[in-house]
Amino acid sequence: MPPIRHLAFVINEQKSGAPELAETLIPLAQAAGVTVKTSTTFPIPDGFLKGQDACCVIGGDGTLLGAARESAREQVPLIGINRGSLGFLTTFAADEARSQFHALLAGEFQVTYRTLLECSAGAGQHDLALNDILIKEDAGSRLVRLEVFADDELVTDYHCDGLIFATPTGSTAYNLSAGGPLIHPGANVIAMTPICPHTLSNRSIIFREGVKLRVHNCNQATRLLVAMDGQRTFMAGTGSPVEISMAATRLPLAQRLGYSHFEVVRAKLKWSGGLADHGGKS
């Protein structure tokens, strides 16, 4: 990648060690002749990443999700430095960031492009999601009855606590907790996972790239809450179906050279198994 000459920092001051790490990295960037701008608010303001070569996000995955829409609009790669818990998106550890920061400024990283979902629910309500879109009853934990169509073909109707529509990136988030599948981030698919469906035969469904999904609320007495990445919400009435599809734009995500998705999954999910288990018979 080209060297970084203009670098934005998004710092979650609520994460332990994040402000201190920023105080270390920002002077290093400035000493290297890099122009720096900072923000401690997220979601970050519209236009904050305009003209930037990269954005260094110091916090957890939620902090990075708060920068995702602006990153996708401006096509500015996000360098996620984990000061949270799991850190599937913020893949650089703090020690890695310190030791490799000059190399990162020199462009020694790779960029992968992650699928985004776009969602609309009438009345000008439109948004993007990197991880997932959740549809549930807006007043609490009551059951909903939802009818799902794929390219105008009825899939089925669900009597459940809600539906999760996840990208491959988001397959390790709420989708995983609800029993959905893990999906490699390079796959261009959408996973739909029902939450506590009232039939044992309802399981996750994987939809192809290009599918147009439509969700109807079958209960006239309730409104639906539609949540993007657990951060932004809007409401959908019975007369406004929720429409979901894969967005044309992608999120540029910076990763270290030699990054291994399955190495991260093994570490974060604490999968067991060692070399002795892989070789078969001796």
- Overall average pLDDT of the 192-199 stretch: 94
Average pLDDT of the chain? Answer: 91
- Catalytic annotation, residues: 61
Closest C-alpha to 240, from 215, 211, 222, 219: 215
pLDDT at 69 over 70: yes
User: What pLDDT score was predicted for residue 281?
Assistant: 45
| Domain annotation for the chain: domains and CATH numbers | 6-109+256-277 (3.40.50.10330), 116-248 (2.60.200.30)
pTM to 2 decimal places: 0.91
For residue range 213-259, list pLDDT tens digits in order: 999 999 888 889 999 999 989 888 777 899 999 999 999 999 988 88
- Pick the more confident residue, 4 or 277: 4
Tokens linked to 213: 């999904």
Residues 14-43 have pLDDT tens digits of 999 999 999 999 999 999 999 999 999 878
Answer whether 61's CB lies under 8 Å from 86's CB.
yes
184-188 contacts, C-beta under 8 A, 24 or more apart: 184/261, 185/112, 185/114, 185/115, 185/261, 186/112, 188/115, 188/246
- Model pLDDT for residues 116-170, shown as the tens digit of each residue: 999 998 777 899 999 999 999 988 778 999 999 999 999 999 999 999 999 999 9
Residue % of the chain over a pLDDT of 70: 96
| 48 against 219, higher pLDDT | 48
